[in-house]
Amino acid sequence: MPKALLLENIHPFASENLRQHGFEVVTAKGAMDEDELIRALDGVDLLGIRSKTSVTPKVLDARPDLTAVGCFSIGTNQVDLDYAGSHGIAVFNAPYSNTRSVVELVISDIISLMRRLPAHTFHMRQGVWDKTASGSHEVRGKTLGIIGYGNIGSQVSVLAEALGMHVVFYDIEEKLALGNAERASSLEDLLEKSDAVTLHVDGRKANTNFFGEDQFARMKPGSVFINLSRGFVADLDALKRHLDSGHIAGAAVDVYPVEPKKTGDSFTTPLAEEDNVIITPHIGGSTLEAQESIGHFVSHKLLDYWENGITSLSVNMPTLNMNPCQGRARIAHLHDNLPGVLANVNRVLGAENINITAQALSTEDELGYVVTDVDTMPSKDAIEELKSLQGTIRVRVLPNR
């Protein structure tokens, strides 16, 4: 029986789906450190994680037979993608499943900060009745600056505009503006004109400390700042200084440079001392609807790869989206992107008079992936010869179910 390990309280739908397809499923609520994960991976074929568990080369070397990793999240920076791909381990994520949840939290943060709800709550808990309109604003007519106009940023744009906000955005790539949103001429231009600034940049290492002292200083006096993207992209010490000085009127932070491994662990941040600040424990995508959607999406992607060799939406493999197997078996051959591999695969099969009923090849960067449906199960000798072909990384033979 194949085995799956699901960590970090992944939605029960994923476990149920895998069990229905014959997997033994082991679950854990918290994340694991490197050594714990290595021990837990004994005999595991599919691994499911969220954002707190790191899948390092050391982990992958300890379990070379691991077939795939499912990131039940948007981000995949917790996995060494290149190393996994070069060792034949496919990685999947859920790039769109929690978009709406994140977007709704961003919008609620903007409204709450502009109305100074965190500050009023803070004062009420201290026994201070501070009934005043000072510093409180409607969002209608205000300018929202969106840094990163991808899937989430663009959807924030749509909802913000529906509230009557003027939207400007900045992105290093060319993006099609939705509605009446306008592209800022530069990051500095966006910061200087925006009443609220929200970050939606990805987790690439180059974005470490992307938003720091210089960027906070450029922000419009009295504006608010929101970060629900990655914890390491914003300098929280610099943010605190600008909150203390009054230059920035409020902030909402959901992600941090260092976060606890599991629910219930202690956590401290100097931002807790501020009044008009919303601090949340990385819950941007944590709604029941989003987690169910992610559990459904990623578990199906893992099963598509396990049973049919389909790599559609894999983040580290050449993309092949095949029809159901059109023969007795399917041979999935992952290899270095070298010339002549397809011919050599067909030569091995031809030597055994095996008829090919369907075949597809895809290459991407350093990897090539060929999937071949055959009407006869190849012999053990043929499989071993396929494995010994120059450049071969992994060969999987998938019987037609």
Which residues are identified as catalytic?
230, 259, 282
Rg (CA), the chain: 25
What torsion, rounded to 10 degrees, do the Cα atoms 387, 388, 392, 396 define?
A: 0
C-alpha 108/C-alpha 112 separation (Å) is: 6
Other C-beta atoms lying within 10 Å of the C-beta of residue 180: 9
Q: 141-160 burial, b for 16+ CB within 10 Å, e for fewer? A: ebbbbbbbbbebbbbbbebb
Q: Tell me which residue has tokens 């859920």.
A: 94
Asked whether the CA dihedral 318, 321, 323, 329 is positive or negative, the reply is positive
Q: 17 with 303: CB under 8 angstroms? A: yes
Q: Determine the Cα–Cα distance for residues 155 and 267; give it in Å rounded to an integer.
A: 31
Q: Determine how β-strand 196-199 pairs with β-strand 248-253.
A: unpaired
